[in-house]
Amino acid sequence: MTQPDPKRMHRISDENARIVDLVLDYSRRRILSNDTPLDKPAPPAELARLAGPTVTEAGLGADRALSIFEHVLAPACITTDHPQYLSFIPVAPTKAATAFDLVVSASALYGGSWLEGAGAVHAENEVLTWLANEFGLPAGAGGVFVQGGTLGNLSALVAAREEAKRRFDERGEAYPPRWKVVCGAEAHSSIASAARIMDVEAVPVAHDEGGVLRGDAVAAALAEHGASVFAVVATGGSTNFGIVDDLAGVAEAVRGHDVWFHIDGAYGLAAMLSPLVRDRFRGVEQADSVIVDPHKWLFAPFDACALIYRDPAAGRRAHTQHAEYLDTLTDSAEWSPSDYAAHLTRRARGLPTWFSLATYGAAAYRDAITSSIELAHRVAAEIERREGFTLVRQPQLAVVVFERDGWTKADYDQWSLRLLEDQQAFVTPSSHAGRTNARFAILNPTTTFEHLTAILDTMA
Ligand SMILES: *Cc1c(COP(=O)(O)O)cnc(C)c1O
């Protein structure tokens, strides 16, 4: 019988030094590899058979556990930063951001409070302030990095409703029977999810023929639904098409109403960094809150959404948690990120973006984003030129949606499966107005025109 050794997992020992080296070596190889295959999912039974039991009383040891990860588990995960990953919204973290993500863990940073994480919070706030400035929001705007756009949208809308309640309370008025949030009919599914969680009604407003939410349609909805509306949500770059709503028009419609203006820019708002499309976002500067996901077009690893309030005090009023053990934090005037969203303990997930921005500079981001927009336009022109293809819409940002004439849904499904089976590309079918189509979400700066035309060739 060996003696129990409660310190074994934490001690500075040869065993632990070797474990750390193994993991860092693997990470270094993966970060610097340019031939990680696309990979693909495997059925649960196959993974169980190949991996065998992994959680055991005695432990497998790091060599065995890492080997199972490298040879069984990782190959069953699609390589989302692969240049031919073009589905959904890809991720394409910079080398600096990915590497620094290791530092965030290694340093055991606590990102919830100023007391515990002042240095990390300062760096995250540098990024948030820089973004707010790019968006034209006033000095003093700020917020927090949350897990994703879904939680960012929810946290913003909760703050919006708390502000509406406050106004009703101040006037001594009874709340409306049902609070409402006005949004585009094609707003991201996370808005409907937030409405469900908050038990409020999402009022969908029709877009124009170009898929754009316009001010006059929002004005009509506000007139119809009156004081029960606590927020209007516009989209700064739709996920399906990259369409930017008429943000200035919507801001104009909202002005004069006691209504919070939120912009969901999870995918697209990063494009404001590119001079090519900056003008399309006019009106952002009037938002009460915005979100943008660094894990999308700001080249950060999963998971990070920047939530920015025009007046952070409103976010704080809505979200600060009060508890006896927290009083020492919440009684202070210091900036604690936990106070600005529906969360408490948090990773300093904004730091990889901070390190990468600090390392390469903002201009490198502008260039990388611009290159994807240019590539999207180039491949859109190629699709228009090719016999048998129809471009569904001119791309605004870097999403290209097109049809292969005469194809049924089954054709697209088979084609998509074959692309992944052949490890050539990951392009899942999408649909619009009941018609199946193909969609390239171009975001990774290492994606080339030749990658894309080779995919078009497979549809001949
Ligand atoms: C991706 C996306 C979201 C959701 O963000 P997550 O980080 O996936 O939670 C919300 N809105 C838009 C427009 C998006 O593209």
Expressed in angstroms and rounded, the spacing between residue 457 Cα and the centre of ligand 1 is 31
Decide the pairing of beta strands 180-184 and 201-205: parallel
Q: CA 147 to CA 304: how far, in whole Å?
A: 5
Residue of 445, 437, 440, 459 lying closest to 88 (CA atoms): 440
Measured by CA distance, the residue closest to atom 5 of ligand 1 is 149
Mutate to test the pocket of ligand 1, among 264, 269, 281 (most ligand atoms within 8 A of CB): 264
Expressed in angstroms and rounded, the spacing between residue 291 Cα and the centre of ligand 1 is 9
Mutate to test the pocket of ligand 1, among 87, 146, 188, 189 (most ligand atoms within 8 A of CB): 188
Q: CA 228 to CA 195: how far, in whole Å?
A: 14
Kindly indicate whether the domain formed by 101-360 is annotated with CATH number 3.40.640.10.
yes
- Listed in order, the ranges of the chain carrying CATH 3.90.1150.170 are 362-457
Expressed in angstroms and rounded, the spacing between residue 306 Cα and the centre of ligand 1 is 11
Two tokens, residue 13: 């020992």
**Closest ligand 1 atom number to CA of residue 293:** 7
Per-residue pLDDT of the chain (460 residues; tens, 9 = 90+): 678 999 999 999 999 999 999 999 999 999 999 999 999 999 999 999 999 999 999 999 999 999 999 999 999 999 999 999 999 999 999 999 999 999 999 999 999 999 999 999 999 999 999 999 999 999 999 999 999 999 999 999 999 999 999 999 999 999 999 999 999 999 999 999 999 999 999 999 999 999 999 999 999 999 999 999 999 999 999 999 999 999 999 999 999 999 999 999 999 999 999 999 999 999 999 999 999 999 999 999 999 999 999 999 999 999 999 988 888 887 888 999 999 999 999 999 999 999 999 999 999 999 999 999 999 999 999 999 999 999 999 999 999 999 999 999 999 999 999 999 999 999 999 999 999 999 999 999 999 999 999 999 999 8
pTM above 0.75, yes or no: yes
Burial 319-342, CB ≥16 within 10 A → b, else e: beeeeeebeebeeeeebbbbbbbb
The ligand 1 site (C-beta within 6 Å) comprises 89, 148-150, 188, 190, 235, 239, 264, 266-267, 293, 305
Expressed in angstroms and rounded, the spacing between residue 165 Cα and the centre of ligand 1 is 27
The residues near 64 (Cβ < 8 Å, ≥ 6 apart) are none
Mutate to test the pocket of ligand 1, among 145, 150, 396 (most ligand atoms within 8 A of CB): 150
Expressed in angstroms and rounded, the spacing between residue 170 Cα and the centre of ligand 1 is 34
- Listed in order, the ranges of the chain carrying CATH 3.40.640.10 are 101-360
Expressed in angstroms and rounded, the spacing between residue 64 Cα and the centre of ligand 1 is 37
Q: CA 111 to CA 113: how far, in whole Å?
A: 6
CATH of range 362-457; options 2.160.10.10, 3.90.1150.170, 1.10.150.120, 1.10.10.10: 3.90.1150.170
Residue 303, phi-psi category: left (phi > 0), alpha (psi -120 to 50), beta (remainder): beta
Measured by CA distance, the residue closest to atom 12 of ligand 1 is 266
Expressed in angstroms and rounded, the spacing between residue 297 Cα and the centre of ligand 1 is 11
